[in-house]
Structure 1
């Protein structure tokens, strides 16, 4: 992949979103891209897959070449089997009713044989930890499960260039490690070039060959990550490491200091159970939250956090 003087200005804007970007990524490289919100990272992702200039109004200067294909003359559909993009919001790229069909959608559009499509679906779902959810309706998945599904749907196309835009945004620490391990395996086994746009660099830098920093639409750094980042345990702090500390503390009862009138809970749950078809999402959940309290809700993807919030809102 090569960027040569890439500049892009959205229609209606006078300020370029990207300015004179020059960057080369070789097959098998793992590149981390970071920078403040609004600096142009997502715009870069759209340029790398041909959505810019073909699907967004604006003026593009310079060129982007992917495996010998100039994106100015190749439509996104022509690049689909070469460059794959996982966007920030997983729901924006999920378009079928169940998990299996979602992952099969891309390979089907590549006109692959049915047997190969089945193999790719099984591999991709297993890789992201969703192999037991093949028949699940997409709308019943948690946010983290939808994120994994979006990643699986792109992995199934076996792209030579894989771009992931904030892929860990909806994942718990274990999910981050698992998904990035799959991406690393794709890089090693198929020499795919990997570009990951992220803020949560603690998971990413140990895997990265280079760190590219974008500020105000310009590349301000393109360096190897510090050695310290490579040897630090990525994502070493998670739910499991908090359990001992949390369990040693008594939960607040929300009461005022001794002698004061007791405070009534703002909300209270007593043995709440929710089942989806054959799956129990919540099993006898009980807790109270008092005025002025802040509660941290943590757990693995698919453990019931989203369902609990829907219960609290009265949607369930």
Structure 2
């Protein structure tokens, strides 16, 4: 179905090809998973299948790519649209209509399908992806995960023979990700659809793959064979390597069947606390389960762009050094918070306290209100009722030049923070904004994102690389409170480990972090507390081990394998052994 013949891709100004001498064949009706570190060319390989590379992206493609017998050198993306469906890393760039139902129908309209066929396929896709309740919603009002499901649905409705997916589960909660992957597996097995997918969260997808393609090596083979040599692998594989299991398990079920001896070895031992918590007493969490009516009225925008920050994003640093937190009590104090956005009651009577040095993970299904809570803490959304205090201030009424010394937000879309033409210019602006020594931001970029040159344009970075750059921009100011919205989206395991190490250093220095994430492995590795939000309410708040071990949806792989004992990470097991 897909054939690469000695394909190389080189972009203008690049010192070396992004892809080099790729030669492979993807049979019809198989799911092939692309793995490899960030920036090795996974998105370029996917783009070469859909024709976006080089017709849309520019650059030079040598060799030959054929899809269903069509040569992508002579067939532009629109001439492949009936054959190939593509979802990129940024679903917002994918949409061409305003509402969910219209977006699902648009691709079929472009192909001239009959109205009765279109109606049936839209209904099927709404049900398959759990979008029926959102059918009339404006796409702009959806959460990032909901938008990602709509983007996937819009390419499913035309029934293409090939699906090209770039990080399709990166913004989805664990349950929604399982639903989407089950749909993809059904298409592969029942309809013979060919799926080529790049994904960093291998713990979610590797068990569904028929073959795995490892880049930059270009080696393709069965998942267990490739995982045995791959530098990027999920926790279940890392645990299998540590325990010496052969062949390596790819699923929690297979690992549990082999884990009896390992559980016996760990029976008289207890997990050590994460390294940044060792020897430190944790304050009690302040969240509780609360129900009740919310206040009436709509939210008001804080209007940060109109209040003295010029053309800069409201999340960029003010030109001043961060102030010390002198407010007594918790750094974050939220009481009975309610937020209504139009017809949607996004938050209901939220109570949350976060103290200096604490790392709190906000978890919950897509659309639960996690991002709304973060934006309330940074002042871009005003409460409908209740109170929000950050470092003793009310965010939405505080001058952003004052508030920004205390709190920094990295939103889901890192491009909101990036406006310069090069990485070097972006870092220089971040240093100036934060009043930091020249080179501070560039040093963070080098630590989180090694190998990126000063002259690289931010738009030429992968989604994960852009996120690392945006994180560096915000971390330059060392804000006492750091808010991260899906901070590992697009990051490989090595990049995630570098991020965890830096956040642990900040926590040890007294900085608080609140991160909204669907990455259960990140929460297990980093968070002191997990707060689960459902339907705009806090339904669980407690120490990470207590909350995630008791939750099938939010439990990491190691916890599932070694249950009922509260082991969360491979590092904990390795230290105990």
TM bracket (short chain): 0.7 to 0.9
Q: Which residue of 1 aligns with 2:377?
A: 312
Q: Structure 1 regions of 5+ residues with no counterpart? A: 237-248, 254-261
Instruction: Indicate the larger mover: 173-182 or 264-273.
Output: 264-273
TM-score (norm 2): 0.49
Q: Which residue of 1 aligns with 2:355?
A: 290
> Structure 2 CA distance, aligned partners of 1:16 and 1:284?
53
Q: Which residue of 2 aligns with 1:246?
A: none
Which of 346, 369, 372 matches 1:281? 346
Q: Which residue of 1 aligns with 2:193?
A: 192
> Structure 2 CA distance, aligned partners of 1:78 and 1:290?
56
> Structure 2 CA distance, aligned partners of 1:56 and 1:90?
17
Sort the Cα spacing of 1:233 and 1:281 in 2 relative to 1 into closer, same or farther, 3 A.
Answer: farther
> Structure 1 CA distance, aligned partners of 2:136 and 2:123?
12
- 1:202–1:229: 8 Å Cα contact kept in structure 2? no
TM-score (norm 1): 0.87
Asked if residue 147 in structure 1 is aligned to residue 148 in structure 2, the reply is yes
For residues 264-294 of structure 1, the C-alpha deviation after alignment (integer angstroms, 9 at most, x for no partner) is: 2222211112234443221111112222221
Sort the Cα spacing of 1:150 and 1:292 in 2 relative to 1 into closer, same or farther, 3 A.
Answer: same
> Structure 1 CA distance, aligned partners of 2:341 and 2:50?
37
The Cα of 1:301 is off from its aligned counterpart by: 1.0
Sort the Cα spacing of 1:229 and 1:110 in 2 relative to 1 into closer, same or farther, 3 A.
Answer: farther
Q: Which residue of 2 aligns with 1:52?
A: 53
The Cα of 1:127 is off from its aligned counterpart by: 1.3
Q: Structure 2 regions of 5+ residues with no counterpart? A: 225-246, 257-281, 287-326, 382-577
Asked if residue 222 in structure 1 is aligned to residue 242 in structure 2, the reply is no
For residues 192-211 of structure 1, the C-alpha deviation after alignment (integer angstroms, 9 at most, x for no partner) is: 01111011111212111111
- 1:143–1:306: 8 Å Cα contact kept in structure 2? no
> Structure 2 CA distance, aligned partners of 1:128 and 1:294?
32
Residue aligned with 2:96, SS: coil
* Larger RCO, structures 1/2 (Cα 8 Å, 6+ apart): 1
The Cα of 1:154 is off from its aligned counterpart by: 1.0
Q: Which residue of 1 aligns with 2:336?
A: 271
Residue aligned with 2:74, SS: coil
For residues 204-228 of structure 1, the C-alpha deviation after alignment (integer angstroms, 9 at most, x for no partner) is: 121111111002xx41x21101264
The aligned runs of 1:1-316 (5 Å cut-off) are 1-215=2-216, 218-219=217-218, 221-226=219-224, 228-233=248-253, 251-252=284-285, 263-316=328-381
Instruction: Indicate the larger mover: 86-95 or 2-11.
Output: 86-95
Query: Cα RMSD between the aligned structures?
Result: 2.1
Residue aligned with 1:297, SS: strand
> Structure 1 CA distance, aligned partners of 2:253 and 2:125?
26
The Cα of 1:33 is off from its aligned counterpart by: 0.6
The Cα of 1:166 is off from its aligned counterpart by: 0.8
- 1:206–1:232: 8 Å Cα contact kept in structure 2? no
Residue aligned with 2:367, SS: coil
> Structure 2 CA distance, aligned partners of 1:223 and 1:210?
5
For residues 34-66 of structure 1, the C-alpha deviation after alignment (integer angstroms, 9 at most, x for no partner) is: 000010000001100011121122111111110
Residue aligned with 2:40, SS: coil
Residue aligned with 1:22, SS: strand
Residue aligned with 1:102, SS: helix
Instruction: Indicate the larger mover: 27-36 or 112-121.
Output: 112-121
> Structure 1 CA distance, aligned partners of 2:101 and 2:283?
44
> Structure 2 CA distance, aligned partners of 1:252 and 1:137?
36
> Structure 2 CA distance, aligned partners of 1:223 and 1:7?
21
The Cα of 1:230 is off from its aligned counterpart by: 4.4
The Cα of 1:135 is off from its aligned counterpart by: 0.6
Task: Give the aligned length.
Answer: 293
The Cα of 1:78 is off from its aligned counterpart by: 1.0
- 2:146–2:366: 8 Å Cα contact kept in structure 1? yes
- 2:51–2:77: 8 Å Cα contact kept in structure 1? yes
The Cα of 1:114 is off from its aligned counterpart by: 1.4
Sort the Cα spacing of 1:111 and 1:233 in 2 relative to 1 into closer, same or farther, 3 A.
Answer: farther
Residue aligned with 1:196, SS: strand
Structure that is richer in strand per residue: 1
